[in-house]
Amino acid sequence: MKGRKSSLWFCCAYGVTILALLAGIILGNRAVTVISENLPIHRSHMIILDPGHGGTDGGATSCSGVLESKYNLEIAIRLDDLFHLLGYDTKMTRRSDVSIHTQGSTIAQQKVSDLRERVKICNETENGLLISIHQNMYPEANCSGAQIFYPDTPGSRELAKALQEKMRLNLDPENNRTAQQGRGIYLLEELQITGVLVECGFISNPREDALLKTDRYQKQICAVIASAMIDYMTNP
């Protein structure tokens, strides 16, 4: 019941925003600002969107030859747009195809520096809530399904489990993966705030790779993630 109530709330908020946009088209941008400022939204958190990898570190390469970093950025930008539309505050660790390292002359050193910078951004953000976006890969092409990893910080496990269940219900009822603590994942080991790392799917699986490339599936993923985050922020 809780899920139904919260998705209804999400639909309502979404509906109001669509009305705001329509009003904006008719009345000008001022109307959108006025309406969205008056939405009953909990601005308790700064949502940090972290598209994994970037620049010289492309992450995994899909079975169709596309770098993971590209999918991560596309999905994170869509999430950024969606949260803005709904009136939430966000910041992104990167908005283009770059590494955010500040030190190092070799690629390996730069990768370490890049990860440290991401951790720093997260831990220095007051009331930060992290969503790190990645894609999975495995040598066997038939592996599939989104999976959520979480750090050992307050609320993260519950948030990850709720998001994993929403992913199963809304994207792939056959997905029986479970949310796991991200042991050995540097970003999650060092994180001091609540957050999740979302492996949206396996880009080594031709079916899932093809889906992950589409606007429609990327938007569906974003809607599910945003819904879980809004549930958490509304009732942490």
Return residues touching Zn ion (CB under 5 A): 52, 59, 134
Beta carbon nearer to Zn ion, 51 or 87: 51
Report, in Å, the least distance between residue 4 CB and Zn ion.
33
Question: Which residues neighbour 147 within 8 Å (Cβ) at sequence distance 6 or greater?
Answer: 136, 164, 177, 178, 179, 180, 199
Q: E strand or H helix at 207, and its extent? A: helix 206-212
Instruction: Kindly provide the residue ranges of all beta strands, DSSP E only, lying in 87-144, ordered along the sequence.
Output: 89-92, 128-136
Beta bridge partners of 57: 54
Residue 88: half-sphere exposure toward Cβ, Cα within 13 Å: 28
Question: CB of residue 136 vs Zn ion: minimum separation in angstroms?
Answer: 8
Q: How far is the CB of 80 from Zn ion (least distance, A)?
A: 18
The residue (of 134 and 157) whose beta carbon lies closer to Zn ion is: 134
Toward Zn ion, which CB reaches closer, 121 or 203? 203
Question: Is the backbone of residue 59 left (phi > 0), alpha (psi -120 to 50) or beta?
Answer: left
Cβ proximity to Zn ion, 6 vs 69, nearer residue = 69
Residues 66, 213 contacting (CB under 8 angstroms)? yes
Q: Are strands 128-136 and 194-202 parallel, antiparallel or unpaired?
A: parallel
Other beta carbons within 10 angstroms of residue 152's beta carbon come to 12
Q: How far is the CB of 202 from Zn ion (least distance, A)?
A: 12
Which residue, 52 or 87, has its beta carbon nearer to Zn ion? 52
Q: Which residue in 160, 177, 155 sits closest to 168, CA to CA?
A: 177
CB of 188 to Zn ion, least distance (A): 12
Other C-beta atoms lying within 10 Å of the C-beta of residue 132: 26
Contact 92, 80 (CB under 8 A): yes
Question: Nearest residue by C-beta to Zn ion?
Answer: 134
Minimum CB separation of residue 181 from Zn ion in Å reads: 17
Sequence letter at residue 31: A
What tokens appear for 19 in the block?
Answer: 């009305």
Q: How far is the CB of 199 from Zn ion (least distance, A)?
A: 8
- Closer by beta carbon to Zn ion, 209 or else 231: 209
Residue (200 or 230) nearer to Zn ion, CB: 200
